[in-house]
Amino acid sequence: MTTPNLTAAPIDTAAVDVSGLAGALWLIGAAVFALLAIFFIGLDQGMVSVFGSDLHVHEFVHDGRHFLGFPCH
């Protein structure tokens, strides 16, 4: 997946451009939301469970979990 466009650029040190605290918080918040959502859709109440032996989340997203390729019961 490397590309001709990406490759010829010189390696730069710290050219990440995030404008201040608010920008950083948006990025962190987005990443946290994403990982939580993926956890509940894909893993919770299967191989690990945060609500004990309850299966409501698992059963509700059941078809989606199979379809997305997560290992499911």
Contacts with other proteins, residue ranges (CB under 8 A): 1-12, 14-19, 22-24, 26-27, 29-31, 33-35, 37-38, 41-43, 46-47, 55-56, 59-73
* Least gap, CB of 24 to other proteins (angstroms): 8
Q: Which is nearer to other proteins, 4 or 52 (CB)?
A: 4
Cβ neighbours for 45, distance < 8 A, ≥ 6 positions apart: 51, 54, 55, 56, 57, 58
* Least gap, CB of 49 to other proteins (angstroms): 11
| End-to-end CA, the chain | 33
* Least gap, CB of 50 to other proteins (angstroms): 15
Q: How far apart are CA 5 and CA 54, in angstroms?
A: 49
